[in-house]
Each structure stands twice: as C-alpha cells, then as structure tokens.
C-alpha cells in the first residue's frame, strides 16, 4: 500500500464504524478486541446507571416518607445516608465507563491510522540483521551483519 491517502481513509473508516479501518487494511483480527472493549464499557455504563437510579429513587422516596424500598429488606438495611453514598459510587463508575468507551473509540481510530502508516514502510528480505557467532581455534567472537 503505497497510497499516501490510505492512513486518513482508514482513520475515517474506523471513525464511521469501529473496526472497519482495520478490516480495510487486513488487520481484522483486532476487531473482536475493539468490540469487546466497547461492549464491556457500554454494559458497565448501563449496569451502574440502573443501580444509581435505583438508589436515587429509594432516597427520594425515603425523603418523602415512604419506607418500602428493597434496601430495607436486606440482612443489614441500608440507611438513607448510605443510599446517597451508593448513588455517588455508581454515578462515578458510570462516568468512568463512558470515558472508557470514548477512549476505546479514539484508540480504534489511532490504531487504524498508525497501522496504515506502518504498512507503507519498505520491509523486505534485503533489510535484515543476522547475528553470527564465530568459534575458531585462533579467534572467538561475535559478529553482527546489517544488510541494506
């Protein structure tokens, strides 16, 4: 791939559909990792968002005088102050999950761009490094040969 516009094209493809740029340059093995990271981030966002809303609803109901939430039925009931702490806890982890999803999306684009750039480098049999150990009765040594 000697086309100089390929890295920007691949980055655009990956920005439209995550993993499409990797598929375009033949690095499709990276796609499951991209979707696993995005899926895990979205899953944990959803999980923490539901928990935060559950804590918030129970807190608001207790402030209005209703003490019928599921947190009172536990072996160690959760106090009203602990509901606030739980709500903050899940809010923080929800926000972290969104940040990780955004980071994964950006890394997907950067990876596609860098991989496309690296495909443009000349790597063939003429470029090699071959170590050679010399063991002779007269001389003992180590030789490194670079071929361009």
pTM exceeds 0.85, yes or no: no
Q: For the chain, list residues with pLDDT below 70.
A: 1-2, 4-5, 123-148
Question: What dihedral do alpha carbons 81, 82, 83, 88 form, nearest 10°?
Answer: 100
- Per residue in 84-115, pLDDT tens? 999 999 999 999 999 999 999 999 999 999 99
Residue of 14, 22, 25 lying closest to 105 (CA atoms): 14
Write down the pLDDT at residue 102: 97
């Amino acid at each position: 791939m000697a086309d100089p516009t390929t890295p920007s094209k691949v980055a655009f493809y990956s920005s439209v559909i995550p993993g499409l740029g990797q598929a375009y340059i033949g690095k499709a093995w990276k796609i499951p990792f991209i979707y696993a990271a995005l899926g895990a981030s979205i899953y944990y966002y959803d999980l923490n968002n539901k928990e935060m809303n559950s804590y918030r609803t129970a807190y608001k109901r207790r402030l209005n005088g209703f003490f019928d939430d599921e947190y009172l039925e536990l072996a160690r009931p959760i106090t009203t102050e602990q509901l606030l702490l739980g709500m903050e806890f899940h809010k923080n982890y929800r926000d972290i999950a969104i940040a990780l999803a955004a980071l994964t999306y950006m890394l997907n684009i950067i990876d596609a761009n860098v991989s496309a750039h690296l495909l443009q480098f000349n790597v063939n049999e003429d470029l090699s490094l071959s170590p050679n150990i010399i063991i002779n009765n007269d001389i003992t040594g180590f030789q490194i040969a670079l071929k361009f």
